[in-house]
Structure 1
Amino acid sequence: MINELKEEEHYEKAFISLIRLIIYYKTGCGTGDTITDNPINHIYGPNEVINIYDNVDTGDLIGTLRVTSANVLSEGPNYISQMASIDEEGNSVYEEVPYAQIIQINYVYEGTAGASKRISGVQF
Structure 2
Amino acid sequence: MKAVNLKEKYDLFHDYWNPRIVAELNGQHVKVVKVKGELIWHRHEHEDELFYVIKGKLKICFENSEKTINEGELFVVPKGITHKPIAQEECWLVLFEPSGTKHTGDQKCEQTVSKFEWI
- Structure with higher RCO (Cα < 8 A, 6+ apart): 2
Instruction: State TM-score, norm by structure 2.
Output: 0.27
Higher helix share: 1
- Which structure has the larger Rg? 1
Higher strand share: 2
